[in-house]
Each structure stands twice: as structure tokens, then as C-alpha cells.
Structure 1
Amino acid sequence: MQTLVTDLLVTLAYGVVGVVLMAIGYVLVDMATPGRLDELIWTRRNRNAALLLASNLAGVGVIVVAAIAASDDDVVLGLVGSAAYGILGLLIMAGAFLLLDAVTPGRLGELLVDPEPQPAVWVSAVVHLATGAIIAAAIS
């Protein structure tokens, strides 16, 4: 029974770290988006903003899963690694977004608020997922 309780607490701790990282990712995407992200997605049903946010959250999830898997059952290492690699991943994703925005025509943030689907948002979303995968591979 003690093992079950310990495993549940460890799972809770990893869950909290993951949710906090995803909340930070949400804030970063919100900062890159003109207007409020919650209004864009939940009120205006903007698919561009939803796609970019979803890719960011998935990228963070991939990083956290890799950090947990690489921790070799060392809970402290897993939690610290998840947080550290997650923050690093978010910073790299933000940098990649800014770089892509700088080298392509138009402003990606403005494309996110367009009610019509924008192919550039798909490119940016894949950059988020690829970044998460690259960092995950580097962890293991």
C-alpha cells in the first residue's frame, strides 16, 4: 500500500510540473498573439490560434515525458529535469517562433488572429513539435 501511495504522490508531482510548464507555454503563446488567446480560441473559435497553442502544449508534453523516462526512477532528478528541460524547450520554441517570424513575410502573430486557416501557422506548429522532439532526443 505504501508503494501505491508513493507512486501516486510522484505522479501528482510530475503532473503539477507538467501543468505548470504548459501554463507557461500558454502565456508565451498568448504574448505572441494579438488580443487575448482565451477569447480567440474559446469565443471566436480561431483554428490558427488553437493549432499553435496545441502544438506548444504537445511539445512541452514530449519534453516532460522524455525527462521522466531518462530519470532512471530518481524522482528528484526527474522533477528537476522535467522543469529545467521544459523551461529550456519553451525558450527554444519561443526563439524559433521569433526566428521564423523574422525570416518570413508578414507577422506570424497577426496570422494567428486571421479567421481563415493560414498555412504559416501549420509551419510554426511543426516547428514547436520538432523542437520538443529534438530536446526529448537530447535528453535520452
Structure 2
Amino acid sequence: MLYTISEAAVKMRLTPYTLRYYDREGLIPFVERSAGGVRMFKEKDFGWIRLIECMKATGMPIKEIKQFVDWYMEGNSTLQLRRDMFYERKELVEEQIESLQKTLDTIKYKCWFYDTAVAAGTTSVPKNMKPEDMPDEIRQLKGKIDL
């Protein structure tokens, strides 16, 4: 089945503008065109677009995504380069996850802190609470964060 750019955009939850941009930047060079120049997307193209979106979600610049596409188009001689690129991305995403987990831990602690303060009518209750009087999860969170 073939999809127009509008149909492909709906299917991918993107805008036609985004797909045109990807095409202009050389990120989807394999998308076929009709005799009249209309882009025609196939089912297999959507997996590639999902990969582009995944790389973008890691913060990878379009220029680096384009480099990956170029290496892909070159074939097996670039396997190591493409593999290395994904290992670098993996490391970066793992660091981002760790950072976000610390942020989430802080927010969870602060939610407990303010729930406790609101219930008591003062921040002095959670501020002065002994660790052994805190719920286990909160005590563990407090031990992980610098507050």
C-alpha cells in the first residue's frame, strides 16, 4: 500500500512539513515519488521514520542523523561506524535516564515533604522528622538526594 505525505504524516503522528523537512535534509532518500513528483510512502518507510524520531529523541542533531543515513546507504563497509554511533547514543541515553531518575527522586521526596507539611500545617514537621520516623521509601530517597 502506498501513502501520500498527508496520510503518512497522520500515520506517524507528524506533520507533512516534518516529513518534507526530513526529505530535504536527505534523511529519507528511499521514499519513492510518483511521475508527478508526489512522495509515496510504503509501510517499510515508517520503520525508518520511527528510527529517525528515536534518534531525534536522544538529542541527536539532524546532521548526525544524516551521517547515519549516508553510512547506511554506503552499505556494509560502514557497519562498525553505525554500531559505534548507536553505542554512543546508548551511553548518552543511559546518562539522561540516570539524571532524570535523580530528578524524579527529588520530586517524590518533595511531594512527601509538602504532603506532610500541609497535613501538619507547618514545614517544621517534615524538616525535623527523624529518619526512622519517615516511610522507608522516603528515607531511601532522602539518602540519595542532596537537599
- TM over 0.5, shorter chain: no
TM-score (norm 1): 0.28
TM-score (norm 2): 0.27
Structure number having the greater helix percentage: 1
Structure number having the greater strand percentage: 2
